[in-house]
Protein backbone atom coordinates (compact mmCIF):
# COMPACT_ATOMS: atom_id res chain seq x y z
CA UNK A 1 0.00 0.00 0.00
CA UNK A 2 2.80 2.38 0.86
CA UNK A 3 4.30 1.75 -2.57
CA UNK A 4 1.01 2.56 -4.22
CA UNK A 5 1.09 6.09 -2.85
CA UNK A 6 4.84 6.63 -3.03
CA UNK A 7 6.30 10.10 -3.40
CA UNK A 8 6.63 9.92 -7.18
CA UNK A 9 3.05 8.81 -7.60
CA UNK A 10 1.75 11.53 -5.36
CA UNK A 11 3.79 14.05 -7.30
CA UNK A 12 2.37 12.79 -10.60
CA UNK A 13 -1.10 13.35 -9.20
CA UNK A 14 -0.81 16.70 -7.44
CA UNK A 15 1.54 18.36 -9.91
CA UNK A 16 -1.04 17.89 -12.62
CA UNK A 17 -3.72 19.34 -10.37
CA UNK A 18 -2.06 22.61 -9.64
CA UNK A 19 1.44 23.59 -10.65
CA UNK A 20 1.65 21.68 -13.91
CA UNK A 21 -2.03 22.05 -14.77
CA UNK A 22 -2.76 20.80 -18.30
CA UNK A 23 -4.68 23.91 -19.32
CA UNK A 24 -2.82 26.71 -17.58
CA UNK A 25 0.76 25.51 -17.76
CA UNK A 26 0.87 23.09 -20.66
CA UNK A 27 -1.83 24.80 -22.80
CA UNK A 28 -3.40 21.54 -23.85
CA UNK A 29 -7.03 20.80 -24.59
CA UNK A 30 -8.16 24.37 -25.00
CA UNK A 31 -10.68 23.75 -27.77
CA UNK A 32 -13.21 21.84 -25.74
CA UNK A 33 -12.47 23.91 -22.63
CA UNK A 34 -13.89 26.93 -24.42
CA UNK A 35 -16.70 25.43 -26.41
CA UNK A 36 -18.65 23.54 -23.76
CA UNK A 37 -18.43 26.00 -20.90
CA UNK A 38 -21.36 28.32 -21.62
CA UNK A 39 -23.26 26.37 -18.94
CA UNK A 40 -22.13 24.46 -15.88
CA UNK A 41 -23.82 21.12 -16.57
CA UNK A 42 -22.20 20.29 -19.93
CA UNK A 43 -18.88 21.48 -18.49
CA UNK A 44 -19.11 18.96 -15.65
CA UNK A 45 -20.22 16.11 -17.90
CA UNK A 46 -17.41 16.92 -20.32
CA UNK A 47 -14.75 16.97 -17.62
CA UNK A 48 -16.04 13.67 -16.23
CA UNK A 49 -15.81 12.05 -19.67
CA UNK A 50 -12.32 13.42 -20.28
CA UNK A 51 -11.08 12.29 -16.86
CA UNK A 52 -12.33 8.74 -17.44
CA UNK A 53 -10.87 8.56 -20.93
CA UNK A 54 -7.47 9.98 -19.95
CA UNK A 55 -7.16 7.57 -17.01
CA UNK A 56 -8.28 4.50 -18.98
CA UNK A 57 -6.23 5.20 -22.09
CA UNK A 58 -3.18 5.93 -19.93
CA UNK A 59 -3.58 2.51 -18.28
CA UNK A 60 -4.12 0.67 -21.58
CA UNK A 61 -1.19 2.30 -23.33
CA UNK A 62 1.09 1.79 -20.36
CA UNK A 63 0.17 -1.91 -20.23
CA UNK A 64 1.04 -2.46 -23.88
CA UNK A 65 3.83 0.10 -24.11
CA UNK A 66 6.58 -2.48 -24.52
CA UNK A 67 4.91 -4.13 -27.49
CA UNK A 68 4.23 -0.94 -29.47
CA UNK A 69 6.69 -0.34 -32.33
CA UNK A 70 7.98 3.22 -32.08
CA UNK A 71 7.15 4.24 -35.65
CA UNK A 72 3.44 3.60 -35.52
CA UNK A 73 2.80 4.53 -31.89
CA UNK A 74 0.68 7.60 -32.72
CA UNK A 75 -1.75 5.56 -34.79
CA UNK A 76 -2.03 2.92 -32.05
CA UNK A 77 -2.65 5.60 -29.44
CA UNK A 78 -5.30 7.18 -31.66
CA UNK A 79 -7.09 3.87 -32.18
CA UNK A 80 -7.15 3.13 -28.43
CA UNK A 81 -8.48 6.61 -27.69
CA UNK A 82 -11.01 6.52 -30.53
CA UNK A 83 -12.39 3.20 -29.31
CA UNK A 84 -12.79 4.57 -25.77
CA UNK A 85 -14.43 7.75 -27.04
CA UNK A 86 -16.87 5.73 -29.13
CA UNK A 87 -17.88 3.76 -26.04
CA UNK A 88 -18.27 6.93 -23.96
CA UNK A 89 -20.29 8.67 -26.65
CA UNK A 90 -22.70 5.74 -26.97
CA UNK A 91 -23.03 5.53 -23.16
CA UNK A 92 -23.66 9.26 -22.95
CA UNK A 93 -26.42 9.05 -25.54
CA UNK A 94 -28.05 6.29 -23.51
CA UNK A 95 -27.72 7.89 -20.07
CA UNK A 96 -27.96 11.64 -20.65
CA UNK A 97 -29.34 12.29 -24.11
CA UNK A 98 -30.03 16.02 -23.71
CA UNK A 99 -26.47 16.76 -22.57
CA UNK A 100 -25.02 14.70 -25.40
CA UNK A 101 -27.06 16.78 -27.86
CA UNK A 102 -25.72 19.95 -26.25
CA UNK A 103 -22.14 18.71 -26.46
CA UNK A 104 -22.72 17.63 -30.10
CA UNK A 105 -19.41 17.16 -31.92
CA UNK A 106 -17.28 17.97 -28.90
CA UNK A 107 -17.67 14.45 -27.51
CA UNK A 108 -16.10 13.11 -30.68
CA UNK A 109 -13.45 15.77 -30.46
CA UNK A 110 -12.16 14.28 -27.19
CA UNK A 111 -10.14 12.05 -29.55
CA UNK A 112 -8.14 15.01 -30.71
CA UNK A 113 -7.94 16.58 -27.27
CA UNK A 114 -4.26 17.37 -26.87
CA UNK A 115 -4.29 16.40 -23.18
CA UNK A 116 -4.77 12.78 -24.16
CA UNK A 117 -1.99 12.60 -26.70
CA UNK A 118 0.25 14.73 -24.52
CA UNK A 119 -0.13 12.46 -21.48
CA UNK A 120 0.16 9.27 -23.52
CA UNK A 121 3.36 10.46 -25.17
CA UNK A 122 4.93 12.09 -22.15
CA UNK A 123 3.89 9.78 -19.34
CA UNK A 124 2.18 6.51 -20.20
CA UNK A 125 4.84 5.44 -22.72
CA UNK A 126 7.43 5.50 -19.94
CA UNK A 127 5.67 4.57 -16.72
CA UNK A 128 3.80 1.68 -15.17
CA UNK A 129 0.01 1.30 -15.21
CA UNK A 130 -0.69 2.45 -11.66
CA UNK A 131 1.24 5.72 -11.80
CA UNK A 132 -0.15 6.32 -15.30
CA UNK A 133 -3.63 5.91 -13.89
CA UNK A 134 -2.93 8.47 -11.16
CA UNK A 135 -1.39 10.81 -13.70
CA UNK A 136 -4.48 10.47 -15.88
CA UNK A 137 -6.88 11.17 -13.00
CA UNK A 138 -4.78 14.14 -11.88
CA UNK A 139 -4.70 15.68 -15.33
CA UNK A 140 -8.38 15.04 -15.83
CA UNK A 141 -9.19 16.78 -12.54
CA UNK A 142 -6.85 19.67 -13.34
CA UNK A 143 -8.71 20.07 -16.63
CA UNK A 144 -12.02 19.81 -14.79
CA UNK A 145 -11.04 22.56 -12.35
CA UNK A 146 -10.57 25.05 -15.17
CA UNK A 147 -13.62 23.92 -17.11
CA UNK A 148 -15.87 24.19 -14.10
CA UNK A 149 -14.59 27.60 -13.03
CA UNK A 150 -15.07 29.02 -16.53
CA UNK A 151 -18.52 27.40 -16.76
CA UNK A 152 -19.45 28.79 -13.33
CA UNK A 153 -18.52 32.38 -14.23
CA UNK A 154 -20.16 32.21 -17.64
CA UNK A 155 -23.46 30.74 -16.50
CA UNK A 156 -23.74 32.90 -13.38
CA UNK A 157 -23.10 36.22 -15.09
CA UNK A 158 -24.46 35.27 -18.50
CA UNK A 159 -27.89 34.08 -17.48
CA UNK A 160 -28.03 34.40 -13.70
CA UNK A 161 -28.44 30.65 -13.32
CA UNK A 162 -26.46 27.67 -12.07
CA UNK A 163 -27.44 24.25 -13.46
CA UNK A 164 -30.37 26.05 -15.11
CA UNK A 165 -31.78 27.21 -11.75
CA UNK A 166 -32.14 30.93 -11.17
CA UNK A 167 -29.60 32.00 -8.52
CA UNK A 168 -29.68 35.76 -8.68
CA UNK A 169 -32.91 36.88 -6.94
CA UNK A 170 -35.51 38.96 -8.75
CA UNK A 171 -35.08 41.95 -6.46
CA UNK A 172 -31.53 42.42 -7.77
CA UNK A 173 -32.97 42.74 -11.27
CA UNK A 174 -35.45 45.34 -10.06
CA UNK A 175 -32.50 47.41 -8.84
CA UNK A 176 -31.31 47.56 -12.41
CA UNK A 177 -28.95 44.56 -12.66
CA UNK A 178 -28.88 43.08 -16.15
CA UNK A 179 -27.53 39.70 -17.26
CA UNK A 180 -24.45 40.09 -19.38
CA UNK A 181 -25.41 38.36 -22.62
CA UNK A 182 -21.84 38.76 -23.80
CA UNK A 183 -20.81 36.03 -21.33
CA UNK A 184 -22.68 33.38 -23.28
CA UNK A 185 -20.80 34.34 -26.45
CA UNK A 186 -17.64 32.47 -27.48
CA UNK A 187 -15.50 35.61 -27.26
CA UNK A 188 -15.90 36.03 -23.52
CA UNK A 189 -14.81 32.45 -22.87
CA UNK A 190 -11.40 33.30 -24.29
CA UNK A 191 -11.08 36.42 -22.19
CA UNK A 192 -12.15 34.67 -18.96
CA UNK A 193 -9.71 31.85 -19.62
CA UNK A 194 -6.95 34.39 -20.29
CA UNK A 195 -7.62 36.05 -16.95
CA UNK A 196 -7.74 32.68 -15.14
CA UNK A 197 -4.40 31.70 -16.63
CA UNK A 198 -2.90 35.01 -15.56
CA UNK A 199 -4.25 34.39 -12.04
CA UNK A 200 -2.77 30.90 -12.01
CA UNK A 201 0.61 32.31 -13.04
CA UNK A 202 0.39 35.01 -10.41
CA UNK A 203 -0.31 32.44 -7.67
CA UNK A 204 2.55 30.25 -8.87
CA UNK A 205 4.94 33.09 -9.59
CA UNK A 206 7.56 31.83 -7.15
CA UNK A 207 7.98 28.71 -9.21
CA UNK A 208 9.49 29.14 -12.63
CA UNK A 209 7.11 28.00 -15.37
CA UNK B 1 -24.41 27.84 -57.42
CA UNK B 2 -25.84 30.41 -55.05
CA UNK B 3 -26.04 27.78 -52.33
CA UNK B 4 -22.41 26.78 -52.85
CA UNK B 5 -21.19 30.36 -52.72
CA UNK B 6 -23.17 30.95 -49.55
CA UNK B 7 -21.71 27.80 -47.98
CA UNK B 8 -18.22 28.99 -48.88
CA UNK B 9 -18.59 32.49 -47.47
CA UNK B 10 -20.34 31.22 -44.35
CA UNK B 11 -17.65 28.66 -43.59
CA UNK B 12 -14.96 31.36 -43.80
CA UNK B 13 -16.60 34.10 -41.74
CA UNK B 14 -19.71 33.00 -39.88
CA UNK B 15 -18.79 29.45 -38.89
CA UNK B 16 -15.12 30.28 -38.54
CA UNK B 17 -13.23 27.32 -37.08
CA UNK B 18 -11.36 29.34 -34.47
CA UNK B 19 -13.72 32.12 -33.51
CA UNK B 20 -17.07 30.35 -33.63
CA UNK B 21 -16.24 26.80 -32.59
CA UNK B 22 -12.73 27.01 -31.06
CA UNK B 23 -11.25 24.23 -33.14
CA UNK B 24 -7.52 23.79 -33.54
CA UNK B 25 -6.64 26.06 -30.65
CA UNK B 26 -3.51 24.25 -29.46
CA UNK B 27 -1.43 24.67 -32.59
CA UNK B 28 -3.14 28.01 -33.23
CA UNK B 29 -1.71 29.43 -30.01
CA UNK B 30 1.64 27.69 -30.19
CA UNK B 31 2.66 28.34 -33.80
CA UNK B 32 1.35 31.90 -34.20
CA UNK B 33 4.59 33.60 -33.20
CA UNK B 34 5.57 34.76 -36.68
CA UNK B 35 3.64 35.29 -39.87
CA UNK B 36 5.72 33.13 -42.18
CA UNK B 37 5.52 29.91 -40.16
CA UNK B 38 1.86 30.37 -39.40
CA UNK B 39 1.11 30.88 -43.10
CA UNK B 40 2.88 27.58 -43.83
CA UNK B 41 0.88 25.76 -41.18
CA UNK B 42 -2.33 27.34 -42.50
CA UNK B 43 -1.64 26.06 -46.01
CA UNK B 44 -0.87 22.59 -44.64
CA UNK B 45 -4.16 22.63 -42.73
CA UNK B 46 -6.10 23.69 -45.85
CA UNK B 47 -4.51 20.87 -47.81
CA UNK B 48 -5.22 18.20 -45.19
CA UNK B 49 -8.80 19.46 -44.80
CA UNK B 50 -9.43 19.40 -48.54
CA UNK B 51 -8.25 15.81 -48.81
CA UNK B 52 -9.76 14.35 -45.64
CA UNK B 53 -13.24 15.91 -45.63
CA UNK B 54 -14.25 14.59 -49.10
CA UNK B 55 -12.80 11.15 -48.31
CA UNK B 56 -14.66 11.03 -45.03
CA UNK B 57 -17.80 12.27 -46.81
CA UNK B 58 -17.64 9.34 -49.20
CA UNK B 59 -16.95 6.94 -46.32
CA UNK B 60 -19.92 8.29 -44.38
CA UNK B 61 -22.38 8.23 -47.28
CA UNK B 62 -21.33 5.11 -49.18
CA UNK B 63 -20.05 2.84 -46.44
CA UNK B 64 -21.10 3.82 -42.93
CA UNK B 65 -24.69 5.03 -43.16
CA UNK B 66 -25.53 2.85 -46.15
CA UNK B 67 -24.13 -0.08 -44.28
CA UNK B 68 -22.47 -3.27 -45.41
CA UNK B 69 -25.08 -5.99 -45.69
CA UNK B 70 -27.71 -3.72 -44.15
CA UNK B 71 -25.89 -3.02 -40.88
CA UNK B 72 -25.72 0.59 -39.77
CA UNK B 73 -22.03 1.11 -39.08
CA UNK B 74 -22.09 4.79 -38.17
CA UNK B 75 -20.73 4.06 -34.68
CA UNK B 76 -17.41 3.25 -36.36
CA UNK B 77 -17.14 6.78 -37.74
CA UNK B 78 -14.73 8.11 -35.06
CA UNK B 79 -12.18 5.36 -35.63
CA UNK B 80 -12.40 5.49 -39.44
CA UNK B 81 -12.21 9.28 -39.63
CA UNK B 82 -9.17 9.48 -37.37
CA UNK B 83 -7.43 6.69 -39.31
CA UNK B 84 -7.95 8.56 -42.61
CA UNK B 85 -6.68 11.79 -41.02
CA UNK B 86 -3.59 10.17 -39.50
CA UNK B 87 -2.73 8.53 -42.82
CA UNK B 88 -3.10 11.73 -44.86
CA UNK B 89 -1.06 13.71 -42.32
CA UNK B 90 1.79 11.23 -42.68
CA UNK B 91 1.66 11.83 -46.43
CA UNK B 92 1.72 15.60 -46.05
CA UNK B 93 4.65 15.34 -43.66
CA UNK B 94 6.65 13.41 -46.24
CA UNK B 95 5.74 15.88 -48.99
CA UNK B 96 6.71 18.94 -46.93
CA UNK B 97 9.98 17.33 -45.88
CA UNK B 98 10.79 16.62 -49.53
CA UNK B 99 9.82 19.99 -51.04
CA UNK B 100 10.37 22.54 -48.29
CA UNK B 101 12.89 21.46 -45.63
CA UNK B 102 12.97 24.94 -44.07
CA UNK B 103 9.21 24.92 -43.47
CA UNK B 104 9.55 21.35 -42.19
CA UNK B 105 12.01 22.36 -39.50
CA UNK B 106 10.05 25.53 -38.64
CA UNK B 107 6.82 23.62 -38.07
CA UNK B 108 8.63 20.96 -36.07
CA UNK B 109 6.40 18.85 -33.89
CA UNK B 110 3.24 20.63 -35.07
CA UNK B 111 3.28 18.99 -38.48
CA UNK B 112 2.65 15.45 -37.22
CA UNK B 113 0.31 16.98 -34.66
CA UNK B 114 -2.01 18.11 -37.48
CA UNK B 115 -3.33 14.56 -37.09
CA UNK B 116 -4.65 15.46 -33.67
CA UNK B 117 -5.60 19.01 -34.65
CA UNK B 118 -9.20 19.45 -33.62
CA UNK B 119 -9.90 21.57 -36.70
CA UNK B 120 -9.39 18.61 -39.02
CA UNK B 121 -11.41 16.11 -37.00
CA UNK B 122 -13.97 18.81 -36.22
CA UNK B 123 -14.54 19.58 -39.90
CA UNK B 124 -15.25 15.91 -40.58
CA UNK B 125 -17.63 15.67 -37.62
CA UNK B 126 -19.46 18.87 -38.59
CA UNK B 127 -19.71 17.55 -42.14
CA UNK B 128 -21.29 14.38 -40.75
CA UNK B 129 -23.82 16.53 -38.87
CA UNK B 130 -24.58 18.74 -41.86
CA UNK B 131 -25.46 15.83 -44.13
CA UNK B 132 -28.53 15.31 -42.01
CA UNK B 133 -29.66 18.95 -42.08
CA UNK B 134 -32.58 20.22 -44.16
CA UNK B 135 -31.50 20.77 -47.80
CA UNK B 136 -32.77 24.35 -47.67
CA UNK B 137 -30.39 25.30 -44.86
CA UNK B 138 -27.33 27.22 -45.92
CA UNK B 139 -25.18 24.83 -43.92
CA UNK B 140 -26.39 21.75 -45.79
CA UNK B 141 -23.78 19.55 -47.46
CA UNK B 142 -25.44 17.59 -50.24
CA UNK B 143 -22.61 16.21 -52.30
CA UNK B 144 -18.91 15.76 -52.62
CA UNK B 145 -18.61 19.20 -54.24
CA UNK B 146 -20.23 20.82 -51.22
CA UNK B 147 -17.90 18.87 -48.91
CA UNK B 148 -14.89 20.13 -50.86
CA UNK B 149 -16.14 23.73 -50.77
CA UNK B 150 -16.82 23.48 -47.04
CA UNK B 151 -13.33 22.09 -46.38
CA UNK B 152 -11.71 24.82 -48.47
CA UNK B 153 -13.74 27.56 -46.79
CA UNK B 154 -13.00 26.40 -43.26
CA UNK B 155 -9.32 26.03 -44.14
CA UNK B 156 -9.20 29.61 -45.45
CA UNK B 157 -10.96 30.79 -42.30
CA UNK B 158 -8.35 29.05 -40.14
CA UNK B 159 -5.51 30.49 -42.23
CA UNK B 160 -6.95 34.02 -41.92
CA UNK B 161 -7.27 33.65 -38.18
CA UNK B 162 -3.76 32.35 -37.57
CA UNK B 163 -2.07 34.87 -39.88
CA UNK B 164 -4.01 37.69 -38.24
CA UNK B 165 -3.02 36.60 -34.74
CA UNK B 166 0.61 36.11 -35.78
CA UNK B 167 0.72 39.65 -37.19
CA UNK B 168 -0.70 41.06 -33.94
CA UNK B 169 1.74 39.04 -31.82
CA UNK B 170 4.70 40.25 -33.86
CA UNK B 171 3.71 43.82 -33.00
CA UNK B 172 2.91 42.88 -29.41
CA UNK B 173 6.52 41.90 -28.79
CA UNK B 174 7.28 45.62 -28.46
CA UNK B 175 4.66 46.42 -25.86
CA UNK B 176 4.84 46.23 -22.09
CA UNK B 177 2.44 43.66 -20.68
CA UNK B 178 1.82 43.04 -16.94
CA UNK B 179 3.93 40.10 -15.77
CA UNK B 180 1.27 37.42 -15.15
CA UNK B 181 -0.40 38.20 -18.47
CA UNK B 182 2.78 37.84 -20.48
CA UNK B 183 2.72 35.20 -23.17
CA UNK B 184 -0.38 33.11 -22.93
CA UNK B 185 -2.73 35.34 -20.95
CA UNK B 186 -2.55 38.32 -23.25
CA UNK B 187 -2.72 36.07 -26.30
CA UNK B 188 -6.03 34.67 -25.08
CA UNK B 189 -7.41 38.13 -24.54
CA UNK B 190 -6.27 39.17 -28.02
CA UNK B 191 -8.00 36.15 -29.53
CA UNK B 192 -11.11 37.04 -27.53
CA UNK B 193 -11.13 40.55 -28.98
CA UNK B 194 -10.62 39.15 -32.48
CA UNK B 195 -13.53 36.78 -31.89
CA UNK B 196 -15.70 39.73 -30.89
CA UNK B 197 -14.80 41.44 -34.16
CA UNK B 198 -15.70 38.29 -36.08
CA UNK B 199 -19.03 38.12 -34.25
CA UNK B 200 -20.36 40.94 -36.38
CA UNK B 201 -20.39 38.52 -39.32
CA UNK B 202 -22.84 36.30 -37.51
CA UNK B 203 -25.85 38.24 -38.79
CA UNK B 204 -24.63 37.89 -42.34
CA UNK B 205 -27.33 36.63 -44.70
CA UNK B 206 -26.31 35.67 -48.18
Which of B2-16, B101-115, B169-183 comes out lowest in average pLDDT?
Answer: B101-115
Report in angstroms the alpha-carbon separations of B129 from A106, B46, B126, B169: 12, 20, 5, 35
Q: What is the pLDDT of residues A148-194, one digit of tens each?
A: 888 888 888 877 777 777 777 777 777 777 777 777 777 788 888 88
pLDDT band at B134, cuts 50/70/90? confident
- Under an 8 A CB cutoff, do A190 and B189 touch? yes
CA-based nearest residue to B184, from A55, A84, A82, A190: A190
Cβ atoms of A37 and A154 within 8 Å: the answer is: yes
Report pLDDT for A1: 40
Burial tier of B136 (Cβ tally within 10 Å: 0-12, 13-18, 19+): exposed
How many Cβ atoms sit within 10 Å of the Cβ of residue B108? 12
What's the pTM? 0.82
CA B8 vs. chain centroid, Å, equals: 14
Helix (H) or strand (E) segment spanning residue A43: helix A40-63
Interface residue B21 vs chain A (CB under 8 A): yes
* Cα torsion through B104, B108, B114, B117, rounded to 10: -150
Domain boundaries, chain A: 7-203
Q: How far apart are CA A93 and CA A62, in angstroms?
A: 29
* Measured distance CA(A181)–CA(B129) in Å, rounded: 27
- Indicate the average pLDDT of chain B: 82
Suggest the residue from B52, B72, B82, B117 to mutate for an interface test with chain A (most A CBs closer than 10 A). B82
What is the number of other CB atoms lying within 10 angstroms of the CB of residue A69?
7
Contacts of A32 in chain B (CB under 8 A): 22, 118
Residues of A with CB under 8 A from a CB of B: 27-32, 34-35, 74-75, 78-79, 82-83, 85-86, 89-90, 104-105, 108-109, 111-114, 117, 185-191, 193-195, 197-199, 201-202, 205
Angle at B134 between CA B132 and CA B139, to 5 degrees: 80
Residue B156: predicted pLDDT: 92
CB within 8 A of A123, min separation 6: which ones? A12, A58, A132, A135
Q: How many CB atoms lie within 10 A of CB B32?
A: 25
In angstroms, the separation between the Cα of residue B1 and the nearest Cα of chain A is 28
* pLDDT tens sequence across B155-185: 999 999 999 999 998 888 888 888 777 777 8
Least-confidence region, from A39-53, A76-90, A155-169, B188-202:
A155-169
- Residue of chain A minimizing CA distance to B126: A105
How many Cβ pairs closer than 8 A exist between chain A and B?
130
Interface list for B 114-173 with A (CB within 8 A): 115-118, 120-122, 125-126, 129
* Whole-number Å distance between alpha carbons of A157 and A179: 6
Q: Of residues A5 and A152, which shows the higher confidence score?
A: A152
- What are φ and ψ of residue A162, in 5° steps? -135, 130
Tell me: ipTM over 0.85.
no
Amino acid sequence: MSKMFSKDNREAFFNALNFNNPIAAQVLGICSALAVTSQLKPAIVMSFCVTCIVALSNVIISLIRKTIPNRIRIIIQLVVVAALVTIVSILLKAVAYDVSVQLSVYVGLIITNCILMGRLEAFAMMNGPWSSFLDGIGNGLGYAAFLISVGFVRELFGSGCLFGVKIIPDCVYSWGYVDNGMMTMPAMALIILGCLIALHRYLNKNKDI
Amino acid sequence: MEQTLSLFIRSIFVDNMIFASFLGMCSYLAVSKNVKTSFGLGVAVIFVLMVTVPINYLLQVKVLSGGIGGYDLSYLSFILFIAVIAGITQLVEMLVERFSPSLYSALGIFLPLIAVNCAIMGASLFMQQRIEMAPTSSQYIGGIGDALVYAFGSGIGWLLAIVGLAAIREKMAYTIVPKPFQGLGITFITVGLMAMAFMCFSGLKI
